[in-house]
């Protein structure tokens, strides 16, 4: 409905009818009872749906937050109806009290609701804003979900690519460390960086002498120890290659 404020500018509010005393009709108590029942039922459904979405692991965390936020926006309608209730039922009149205004949109000045002070009727405009915001959110909700899924898929693809690079790098580093230890490749002063532990149950367990240094050994040895923790003897090259090939993705 269009409101003409001080005869200078127009404001639109999402209200279907104005100045019709609906509360005086004999149907009003029954309609109000049905309306309240529907609102309570909707409230229970929203709470139940939000709890299911929150507990479900099917959806990604971003999508779950988005769905719950969209459902909880229904409470905007409750707040909007609270502010607009006197105007909706015709308890509070605006403009010509003898005239019923029912035009959703009009360019005819005679069909607009005249107002002298918009700030004096702030509950009406605040409620109308909340109504409009809720309906706009419902309309653009599909776009929001589509955008979230597109962005999530993009970052998942990047994460998968980086994870595959990490697997290949770790695989290469472990093989190189094995060659250093078995003597097939030479590294000067190797005993200044690492040494075998004295554990008889874990003969391949390594100790980094300088664990606080950010170097090849400090990064590779924790992965090495995690993979070889269940081996009871020093593996051959083929056995070690099979072990890291089956374990590196799980690590």
Q: How far is CA 90 from CA 22, 103, 115, 237, in A?
A: 6, 15, 16, 88
Report how far residue 170's alpha carbon sits from residue 223's, in angstroms, rounded to the nearest whole number: 8
Report how far residue 14's alpha carbon sits from residue 87's, in angstroms, rounded to the nearest whole number: 12
- How many CA within 13 A on the CB side of residue 20? 12
Check residues 118 and 168 and name the one with the higher pLDDT: 168
Report how far residue 230's alpha carbon sits from residue 206's, in angstroms, rounded to the nearest whole number: 13
* Predicted confidence band of residue 131 (pLDDT cuts 50, 70, 90): confident
- In the structure encoding, which two tokens stand for residue 56, read together? 């479900």
For the chain, the structural domain boundaries read 2-139, 167-247
Q: What percent of the chain has pLDDT over 90?
A: 0
- β-pair type (2-5, 113-115): parallel
Quick one: pLDDT at residue 249?
63
Quick one: pLDDT at residue 42?
86
73-77, 111-115, 242-246: the lowest-pLDDT one = 111-115
Going by C-alpha positions, the residue among 205, 200, 198, 197 that lies closest to residue 229 is 205
Q: Are 1 and 104 in contact (CB under 8 A)?
A: yes
Is the pLDDT at 251 greater than 70? The verdict is no
Q: Map tokens 């980094």 to a residue.
A: 208
Element (H, E) at 4: strand 2-5
Tens of pLDDT, residues 196-236: 887 778 888 888 887 777 788 888 888 888 888 888 888 88
């Amino acid at each position: 409905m269009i409101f003409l404020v001080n005869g200078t500018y127009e404001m639109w509010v999402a209200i279907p009818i104005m100045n019709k005393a609906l509360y005086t009709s004999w149907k009003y108590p029954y309609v109000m009872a049905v309306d309240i029942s529907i609102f309570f039922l909707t409230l229970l459904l929203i709470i139940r749906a939000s709890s299911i979405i929150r507990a479900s692991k099917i959806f990604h965390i971003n999508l779950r937050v988005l769905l719950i936020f969209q459902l909880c926006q229904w409470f905007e309608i409750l707040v909007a109806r609270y502010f607009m209730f006197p105007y909706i039922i015709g308890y509070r009149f605006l403009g010509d009290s003898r005239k019923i205004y029912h035009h959703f949109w009009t360019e005819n000045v005679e069909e607009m609701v005249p107002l002298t002070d918009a700030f004096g009727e702030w509950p009406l405009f605040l409620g109308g804003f909340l109504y409009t915001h809720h309906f706009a959110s419902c309309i653009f909700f599909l776009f929001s979900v589509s955008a979230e899924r597109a962005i999530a898929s993009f970052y998942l693809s990047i994460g998968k690519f980086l994870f595959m690079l990490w697997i290949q790098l770790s695989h290469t580093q472990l093989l190189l460390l094995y060659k250093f230890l078995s003597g097939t490749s030479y590294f000067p002063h190797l005993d200044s960086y690492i040494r075998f532990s004295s554990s008889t149950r874990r003969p391949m367990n390594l100790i980094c002498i300088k664990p606080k240094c950010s170097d090849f050994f400090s990064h590779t040895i924790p992965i090495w120890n995690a993979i070889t923790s269940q081996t009871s003897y020093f593996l051959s090259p083929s056995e070690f290659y099979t072990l890291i090939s089956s374990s590196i993705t799980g690590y």
